[in-house]
Every structure is written in C-alpha cells, then in structure tokens.
Structure 1
Amino acid sequence: MKTYIISILICGLMITATSCKKFLDLKPLDSYTERTFYNDEKGLQGGLVSCYDALQTDSLYGNNLLTLAELRGDNLTDNDPGSGAGVRNQIEVFSETSVNVILAGAWIGNYRAIYRCNIILDRAPAISMNETTKNQIIGQAKFIRALSYFNLTRLWGNVPLVLKVQKTEEARQNSRATSAEVYQQVIDDLKDAAGKLPVSWADAQRGRATSYAASALLGKVYLYQKKFDLATATLQPVVAAIYAGTVLSTVPQTTTFPNNLKTSKDVIFAVQYLSGGLKEFVNQDNRYRNNNNTNIINIPQTLFEAGDNRKELVATTGTGGRPGKFNGPQVNNETSSDFPVIRSADVLLMYAEALNEGAYGNAEAFKAINAVRSNANASVRTAAILTSQNEFRTAVYLERRLELALEADRWFDIVRTNQMATIFPGIPAFRSIYPVPQVEIDNINNKNGWQNAGYN
C-alpha cells in the first residue's frame, strides 16, 4: 500500500541548518500506512473506494479486458495491426505470447483489486462500528474479489488463490489453484455478499454492488459450470425483480446507451467513471474507437430484424466515427461513460438458457427470451418457431451476441458454449485460455507447472 504524506515540509533559505534539521526530523502529522489507515470506519470506506477504483483502470474495464474479451471474438477486427507493436493484433489473431503487455496488465490489474479487497476483509472484523455498515463493506469487497477471480479463471484457467494480504516472500511461494477451487471461492464470496448487501442504495451511493448484483453474478458462475438447476434457482429472484420493474427492469438500449448507464434500471452493476479533471474518467478512444477504421465492427447487420433498436448502436460506423453503444459525451477525449458488467437483459437470457438446458418447452424460458426481444422491438419467439431444445439453445446464443455486443462477454460465451472450433476453425483448443504472463512466472520461486499447456 502506498504511503500517503499530505504534509509538505519546506526549509526556506533564511532557516538555519540546525533549525531545518529539527523541522525535517519532525514526524508528519498526517501520515498513513497500511497499518494505520484501516483502523476505523472512515479508513475502511476509503479502502473500499480503492477496490472499485481498481476495476476502472486501463488494466481492466478501462481497456485491456475489452481487448481480451471482445477483440478476441468475432465482433471486432483490429484494422491497425501495427499499433502498439502489434500487441492488440496478437490477441485477435491468436498469436499472443507470454510477454504480451496486455496480458500482464490484466493479470496485475485483477490481483491489484484482490489485494485491496483482502486488506478490507482482513481488517474489518476487528473494527468497532455499526455491524450493518461493516457487513455491507465486507459484502462489497467480497463481490469485487469474486468478480476479479471470475475474470482471472475465465482468462487463464488455473490461477493463484490468494485470500489474505501477503508479503513479497509469501507471494513468491504461490502455486496455481485449480479452476474448480477458484470457482468454489467465487461462489462462497458471492453467497456471503448476497446476504450482506442491500437490494438497492440511495442515489448518492448508486453504483455500489447490491445483493441483486451478487446473485446475478453467482447465477452466471453456475451457468459457466453447467450447473443449470442452481443457476435457475439463483437467478429466479432477480428475474422476479426485473419483471416487477421497481428496482430493476428491461430498458431499451437506445435509452440505456450511451448516456444513461448510471440511472437505467437495466444496469445491475457497472464500472463507473466520472470526467471533469478528477482522474476518474475513461479515455473515449478505449471505447472501441472506429475513427480511421481503427476498429471494424463485425456484427452482421443482417442478424438483426429491420426494426431492432439495437442495430444502429453496433453499426460499423456510429455517430462521430464510433459505435453508438459507447459514444457518450466527451471533452478532450475524456468520458464518463460507464461500462456495464451485468444487465437485466443478461440475467433474462441466462435464465432462459438455464431453463432450456433443464428441459425444452419451459414457458418461463420463452417468456424470458421474449422479454429481451420485445424490449429490442424484435418479434417474439414461440414453440412453433423454436421447435427443439437445440433450436432454442442456438437462439439464446445468437440473442446474447446481439444484446451484449461489445460488453466483454462474447469471447467468454464462445468458449463456454463450445463454439470455438466452429467460429475459429483451425485455431488450437489450448488458445481458449491465455498464456500466463512471463513477468509473473519470473517472480515465482518454483516455476514448474506455471505456464498453460501449449504455450512456451
């Protein structure tokens, strides 16, 4: 943890060397360290802000995660392959190696978030404060830690499972946990978070993780593990809340994007940004810049029905040369546009998928997929149109591509639904996950078994 020293010690030219020495020897009156900062509620709340802040960075939702989860898929083409020594293009064309800096940034960014959450979870139990508030802080830290580990294991498979604050020598002894072990920790964290968090926050605190966000992410974790019954049961209360429309609801994307993510009831959790010189903004160029054809949007417009209100938002060239979905207002290339992590439409499609995998013909499955399609002004799907479990499955997969386009889900969906060989024929299966960054392996004492199979 950085040491923050607010006091500025200045010796003027007229001060004698002796008096200057005494002045400089004084202990700063407002100096914080990791040991002294997290001693009260104010310190915990400040530390919690740093956990959310870790998600904002270019290492994660500010940039790199979009490259790893979208450019890797079939929604985008990098039309400037030489940019940045080709590191982005390597991700797209499946030629990345363990020294790719985007991989290193994402790995470090996720563990930075985990480290900050672990500090909160380590120090919170001993602090005397309102128990409800304390539990809400713990719940938020566990949600962010779970999200970070979920991303890590989706990107790399087996990763170190670090659940406490470590010293350098301890970290050098880390080994990789299995993906199953990581998923179990994610599940445990999200269950605990769902029980500690409120269903909503006051407007001044809007954007914090909620119990609905924890349950929605937990349902997604179960879906990735193909535990469809658990996914259905976990998502059902969230779906009920969406249908009720009080806290959550489906909202047309033309309303949600690009400016209203902060207030749309469709957004269950988003990484939030703020422009205006506070260093909390995101670079607009990181939102799939299409100026000079840097990025080409590959989503065929023929996949959308004529009246589908999502169509123009992901057209090859949106307003201002960018896809309209993320073309928020910007000044000096700074934007406050949030990045959605979980939306109500995502939950409905997961629910429909899980129900269909349990048994074809479930009325609630059709209701869920049609709620998304009706919200997009697309025609409804019936059993006369989707006549089998496989046809329904294929319809859900397509709907996810259209609904969640450019939202860092596409590559993960391709892998988890076993579509990689079909969409990217000839690409070896080991590239369904990325190589472990060499910079991380270099810091480990026992390097055996640290690199993923297929990579040098």
Structure 2
Amino acid sequence: MKKYIIPIIACGLIISATSCKKFLDLKPLDSYTENTFYVDEKGLQGGLVSCYDALQTDSLYGNNLLTLGEIRGDNLTDNDPGSGAGVRNSIEVFSETSANNILSGAWQGHYKAIYRTNIVLDRAPGITMSDATKNQIIGQAKFIRALSYFNLTRLWGNVPLVLTVQKTDEARANTRATSAQVYQQIIADLTDAASKLPTTWADAQRGRATSYAASALLAKVYLYQKRYDLVASTLQPIVNAIYAGSVLSLVPQTTTFPSGLKTSKDIIFAVLYLNGGVKEAVNQDNRYRNNNNTNTITIPQAIFEAADNRRALVAPTGTGARPGKFNSPVSNSTEVSGDFPVIRCADVLLMYAEALNEVAYGNAEAFRALNAVRTNAAATPKTAATLTTQNDFRTAIYLERRLEFALEADRWFDIVRTNQLGTVFPGIPAFRSIYPVPQAEIDNVNNKTGWQNTGY
C-alpha cells in the first residue's frame, strides 16, 4: 500500500498547491478592477464620469486652485496665516517651498485626472459601440486631459507629459517635458476634441464638455502663447454664436450669480457640484469662507464704476460670509450648491477683443466685444475717444478681466501671462511666476536632475 499512498499524497499536494495558487490569484468577485470595468460602453461611460469627478475634488476646483490662482493674486487676503502650519499663507506671501502640501495636492490631483483620462483613451478603441458615442467619449476625455495639462504647465512650467497608462516603474522613469511640448499636446487634444464633440448636450447631460468649450480653451492656450491671429480665428464662430444668443449668450451677473450657473447661457464649461450634495457642499463652502473667516476679499471697490452690477458680488468682507458671486442657495445648515465656472462667454469676448487689439489697434470688432461685456455689467462703453492707443485698449482689457473674473481662479495666471508681476508685486523675483515642484514628486523619480524649478 505504501507504494500507492506516497504518489497519491504527492499528487494531492500538487493539486492542493495549484488550487491554493489559483485561489490566491482570484480577483474580488464583488468589486471591479480596471480589467473588468472598462469592457463595454457602460464601463467606459462610468470611467468618463470619474474623469469629471477628478476635477471636483479639493485638490483642484474644490479648493486648491482657488489658493494657487486667486489667493496668490491681489484679490484676497488670508486672515488666518497660521492655519495648516501656514501652507496657504506662504503661497500668498511668496514664501512657499517644495514641501507645501497644497502644491503636492494640486499636482497629484491633476495627474489623477490625467491617469483616468488615459485609461478611457486607452480602452475606448477596443470597445464595441457606435462611432458617434465613442468619439464623444474620446473628445470629452481629451478635453479634460488638456485642461489638466493647461493648469499644470501654468502652475509649474515643465511637467511630465504622460499619455499612456503607466506602471510604477514606468512612472519613476518620467522626465519633465518642456512647456512648449506640453502646449503642443494640449493643442492636439483640444483640436481633436472640438471635432468630435457636439455644440450642446441634452439637459440630462448638461455639464459635459462641448465643441465650444474645446475651441474656447484652445483659443486660451493660443492666447498664452501670444498667437493672437489664431486666438481670433478660433474664437470667431463662438463669438458669432454668443451674439446670436440661441445657445450661448452673455447674462448679467445679477442673474448668473448667485443662481443659474447650471442653466446659464453664459457658462461654456463649469465643474459641476450637485444640489445639496454633502461632499460637493464642503468643497464649495471652502472656497472663500469657513468658520475661521479665512479670507477677506480685497479687490478695490474703486476700480468698479458705481453702477457696475459686478461690484456687490465681490464686495470686501471679513465677516466670513461667502461673496455674492458664490453665495449659492443653502439646502440646510451645511449643504450648498455651487458650480465653478471655468470658461464663460465673457471670457471668449474679452480674449477675442484682446487678440484683435494685439493684431491691430482700432478694430471695431474689438470694441464691440469689450463693450458687450461692459454693457452686460451696466458699465459705460469704451470708445476710440477714451481708449486712444493700442496700449490704452490693452490696459482696459486687463482691468476688465480682473473685474469680470474676480474670484474665479484666473487672476494670478493673468498677472503672469501679461507680465504684470513686477508691477502688481514689486520686488517679487521672476522665478516666483511658477511654483516649486513638490519634493515628494522629485523623491519618487529615478533621475532627479532638472526636476526642480530655478530659484527653489
């Protein structure tokens, strides 16, 4: 019997070991993985939703971009410099270091959005579905990836350009692409997105990126590159649509803010937050007010005309109340709704006016676009008699952008883009126009040479 027992036991051990290995290799049956989720249209659509979701977080439009794009500028003052070990205040007073966790949060938040879009773009070609729907998904993913990279290069200059789904070892081998290379990819993504996306969505899908959004963001990218002829030609069809008023239109801020963001024709793209959503409520509430009265709005009221309907919406306050622009309806004591506008019709018109003026002063369409925004705000129109030179017009545009987009996380970027850093903040060195690369990101790569920005 022994000669039979030993082989049977051995065979049993082999079977047992093989079974154990298979058991240990099993993926959880009650949860999705990347390999089991992105296998059909439903999974791909769910993955796309996660891309939009990445924009909502505190790391991005829920909070940190307000610090990096607005508190860094001259519209707000931090009343609580010791909060969070001073990380927010250090950004305001130009003393931030590569250890600042707001910087690391924003860096990681953007790359999380990019990672999710890369998964969608990687899996979409292999999924059976209608070409029209597939193209719309691809277009939206490319829009979100482009927006993420636009923010990254505005914040840090040279950044890793990741266009595939990477494993850890691959990520550790990343290097920083030049800002020019990043912009080239952004332009490619937005050009393709604009060709694939519809001009509008049904109400049930409102908030998704449109071809207008892709083209408007593309024009903004050209504006940052000072390619003014391309800004004007890219924006002209959108400007015509705004003037027509059927799909897009300027809306006086007394009605656009504080309510109506979700349905306003002025909004070309916004990061949406659900009515009464608890998580979204926390994000929105943190923007300009918390229980410690963190921020005081310091934009001078004197730069507004007395009748300007935008003035009261950004009135200085140290009481802790939200500014009128974001004083959204409250569902209960803790829940609010507050979408965050990223691209508006007013932005399109002011970019159009700026570009036309840079090409040649005196263009009647430049005055028309500028005055459309001013008239919408009940401000006095400008004429060639009041703006007699190209520089006068340029100065008026820069001021108008500050008035129109106050508290919308664009002020700091405008200061840098228009070379006003030394004027608005005398004595601040030029290297502070971009932020230090988070040290945690440098620590994670193999070759650390050339990763930190000059001056930090």
Common fold, TM-score beyond 0.5? yes
1:301: Cα distance to partner? 0.6
1:42-95 alpha-carbon deviations (Å, 9 max, x no partner): 000000000000000000000000100000000001011011111100000000
State the alpha-carbon separation in 2 of the partners of residues 319 and 298 from structure 1.
13
Residue 131 of structure 1 corresponds to: 131
- Whether the 8 Å CA contact 2:216–2:348 is kept in 1: the answer is yes
* 2:107 partner letter: W
State the alpha-carbon separation in 2 of the partners of residues 27 and 77 from structure 1.
50
Residue 299 of structure 2 corresponds to: 299
Residue 69 of structure 1 corresponds to: 69
Unaligned runs of 5+ in 2: 1-22
* 1:285 partner letter: D
- Whether the 8 Å CA contact 1:190–1:214 is kept in 2: the answer is yes
Q: What secondary structure does 1:31 align onto?
A: coil
Q: What secondary structure does 1:283 align onto?
A: helix
Residue 196 of structure 1 corresponds to: 196
1:92-131 correspondence to structure 2 within 5 Å: 92-131=92-131
Residue 140 of structure 1 corresponds to: 140
1:177-192 correspondence to structure 2 within 5 Å: 177-192=177-192
1:154: Cα distance to partner? 0.0
Residue 413 of structure 2 corresponds to: 412
1:299-448 correspondence to structure 2 within 5 Å: 299-317=299-317, 321-330=321-330, 331-448=332-449
Go from structure 1 to structure 2 and tell me whether the alpha carbon gap of 1:371 and 1:446 turns closer, same or farther (over 3 Å shift). Answer: same
Residue 152 of structure 1 corresponds to: 152
Q: What secondary structure does 1:74 align onto?
A: coil
Residue 173 of structure 1 corresponds to: 173
Larger Rg: 2
- Whether the 8 Å CA contact 2:353–2:370 is kept in 1: the answer is yes
State the alpha-carbon separation in 2 of the partners of residues 134 and 25 from structure 1.
33
* 1:244 partner letter: A
- Whether the 8 Å CA contact 2:261–2:339 is kept in 1: the answer is yes
* 2:375 partner letter: S
State the alpha-carbon separation in 2 of the partners of residues 210 and 407 from structure 1.
20
Residue 253 of structure 1 corresponds to: 253
* 2:404 partner letter: E
Q: What secondary structure does 1:269 align onto?
A: strand
Instruction: Report the more deviating stretch, 383-392 or 23-32.
Output: 23-32
1:198: Cα distance to partner? 0.2
State the alpha-carbon separation in 2 of the partners of residues 277 and 454 from structure 1.
42
Name the count of aligned residue pairs. 433
- Whether the 8 Å CA contact 1:158–1:176 is kept in 2: the answer is yes
1:369: Cα distance to partner? 0.3
1:212 aligns with 2:212: yes
- Whether the 8 Å CA contact 2:293–2:320 is kept in 1: the answer is no
Q: What secondary structure does 2:305 align onto?
A: coil
1:327: Cα distance to partner? 1.0
Residue 268 of structure 1 corresponds to: 268
State the alpha-carbon separation in 1 of the partners of residues 358 and 203 from structure 2.
38
* 2:339 partner letter: D
Q: What's the TM-score once normalised by structure 1's chain length?
A: 0.92
1:44-83 correspondence to structure 2 within 5 Å: 44-83=44-83
Go from structure 1 to structure 2 and tell me whether the alpha carbon gap of 1:277 and 1:426 turns closer, same or farther (over 3 Å shift). Answer: closer
- Whether the 8 Å CA contact 2:63–2:284 is kept in 1: the answer is no
- Whether the 8 Å CA contact 2:293–2:319 is kept in 1: the answer is no
Q: What's the TM-score once normalised by structure 2's chain length?
A: 0.92
State the alpha-carbon separation in 1 of the partners of residues 382 and 276 from structure 2.
45
Residue 163 of structure 1 corresponds to: 163
Instruction: Report the more deviating stretch, 374-383 or 327-336.
Output: 327-336
Go from structure 1 to structure 2 and tell me whether the alpha carbon gap of 1:86 and 1:274 turns closer, same or farther (over 3 Å shift). Answer: same
1:258: Cα distance to partner? 1.5
Paired-residue identity, %: 81
After the TM superposition, which segments of 4 or more aligned residues of structure 1 sit over 6 Å from their partners?
A: 23-27
Residue 38 of structure 1 corresponds to: 38
Residue 13 of structure 1 corresponds to: none
Go from structure 1 to structure 2 and tell me whether the alpha carbon gap of 1:175 and 1:202 turns closer, same or farther (over 3 Å shift). Answer: same
State the alpha-carbon separation in 1 of the partners of residues 319 and 431 from structure 2.
38
State the alpha-carbon separation in 2 of the partners of residues 94 and 257 from structure 1.
31
Q: What secondary structure does 2:77 align onto?
A: strand
Residue 452 of structure 1 corresponds to: 453
1:290-338 alpha-carbon deviations (Å, 9 max, x no partner): 7664211111111111110000000013997221111112334332200
* 2:143 partner letter: F
- Whether the 8 Å CA contact 1:352–1:366 is kept in 2: the answer is yes
1:243-294 alpha-carbon deviations (Å, 9 max, x no partner): 0101100001111112211010000000000144564444343121176642
State the alpha-carbon separation in 2 of the partners of residues 143 and 228 from structure 1.
22
- Whether the 8 Å CA contact 2:349–2:369 is kept in 1: the answer is yes
Q: What secondary structure does 2:236 align onto?
A: helix
Go from structure 1 to structure 2 and tell me whether the alpha carbon gap of 1:319 and 1:242 turns closer, same or farther (over 3 Å shift). Answer: farther
State the alpha-carbon separation in 1 of the partners of residues 182 and 137 from structure 2.
22
- Whether the 8 Å CA contact 2:292–2:320 is kept in 1: the answer is no
Q: What secondary structure does 2:268 align onto?
A: strand
1:164: Cα distance to partner? 0.3
* 2:222 partner letter: Y
Residue 3 of structure 2 corresponds to: none
Q: What secondary structure does 1:68 align onto?
A: helix
Q: CA RMSD in A?
A: 1.7
Residue 231 of structure 1 corresponds to: 231
* 2:359 partner letter: G
State the alpha-carbon separation in 1 of the partners of residues 317 and 27 from structure 2.
58
* 2:321 partner letter: G
1:242: Cα distance to partner? 0.5
* 1:307 partner letter: A
- Whether the 8 Å CA contact 1:282–1:337 is kept in 2: the answer is no
Q: What secondary structure does 2:58 align onto?
A: coil
